[in-house]
Every structure is written in structure tokens, then in C-alpha cells.
Structure 1
Amino acid sequence: MKIAIATKDFSKVSGHAGQARQWLLYDLTEHRSNQLLPAPQFVDLSKEQILHTFEDKEPHPLDGVDIVVAASAGDGFIRHMKLRGTEVLLTGEEDPTMAISRILAGEALPDTRFDITTTLCKVRDLFSRH
């Protein structure tokens, strides 16, 4: 399983997943519950690779991700990721390591915080191609 976490400066879980450029990518394919988490890969997307506008016509650094974690995401982003075979989980957890640990333990993630950009995204998504 691969989990990508939208981040701000690779340190905190970020909101507005569709516009996020910095991601922590955890490849948990070989991970076992009694092991420490593997070090994440740091993925810094170019402007053309931002998922909100990426057109899926070429390979993407986050291809093959099973789960995306973010503090907020619009409905269009969630639909787009579903078409890519990726589940989107939203959380109020700011620590990426804690978010991953909770997911692996089967625990619920904390509820999201209010984010005005999510409301703006919902309006924008009404006209989105996704």
C-alpha cells in the first residue's frame, strides 16, 4: 500500500490537496505492524504536476498511490482521485507520522478543521472538468 500526504514544507498535513506541491510518499508494501515506519520519499511537484489541473496524459509522481491524506480537498479533487483509483482521507491531524500511524492501526482520523478554501473549492468544483 502507498500513502501520500499533502504537506506544508514537508512537516505538517496541508489543506487544499489539489493545490499541494509538497508530498510525503510512504511505500508500505513491505511494512509489517511490528516495524518502524519507513522513511517517506519527499515529492515536490512542479506547477504542471499539481493534481487539481493535471490532465492524466502522462505519468505522475503520485501514480499508484492507494490513499491520499490531507486537511481539506474539494469534491472535484476527490472525484478525480477516485478515477485514479485513490481514496482521499481528510483529517484535522497535523502530524503526518501520527496520521499514518492511526491509519495503520485502523483508528479514525481526527475531524478536519474549518478551512474557507474548501468552501471556495466546492463552488469552483461546480464548474470543474472532474
Structure 2
Amino acid sequence: MEDRRTKPPLLYIDQKQNSSPEVSSQSFYYSAQQQSKEKNNVRAAKESSRSRFQSLSTHEKVNYILNLQETLPALKCKVMTKQGTFTGVIEERKDDTVSLIVTELPRRRIIKTEDLLDIQIVGF
């Protein structure tokens, strides 16, 4: 008796008997030395960008902070003067004075540019 559920195949697919897969090997690699050199280059670039701001004069630092892109938030700065150290945002510069908005009272300080000793960026 013949099995009625099995049918002969409708289409025969001819397959190659000696087909071996083609292997593509790796064309390049990174060694640990190359990765460490790249990391050192990135560190050096970061350090040089930090030191660029520190190497500016106080007048140039004020101009740099005031001329940032408008899309960036205002930078908090630590302003060191002959009277003391203030932390706040530099708002504007007029002639020989710098207007600074600080976190403590009074909120606004007007500092003469000749009294400025140093400016350090604290963050956003």
C-alpha cells in the first residue's frame, strides 16, 4: 500500500557537491599600543584646551566668556579680585568695569578690571 500523504517533489534543486564557503579574513586590527597612543593623543588635546584658557590674560578671559555662543548656557566662573573671591556669572563689561551676578547677597557685583587677578571656569 502506498502512503497517500507523501508526494514527490515538484522541483529538484541542483546543489554543488564541492562547494566550500569563502572566508574573508580580517583586513586590519588595533593593537594595545595603538589604542594607548590614541588615548594619549585625546588626553593631550584635552589638556591643551584647558591650558589655552588659563594662558589668556584676564581681559581676554572676560571677552572669551562674554562672546560664547548664545546656545550655550552661561558659564559659572570663580573670579579672584583684590577684595576676595566671588563665584558667579559674568554678565557684561563696560569700559573698565565687569558686572558679575553672584550667588550670595548682594546679587550683582561691579568689579573694576584693574582689580581682577584671575578668572577660572567652574562649570555650567
TM-score normalised over the length of structure 1: 0.19
Q: Which has the higher contact order (CA 8 A, sep 6+)?
A: 1
- Between structure 1 and structure 2, the one with the greater Rg is 2
TM-score normalised over the length of structure 2: 0.20
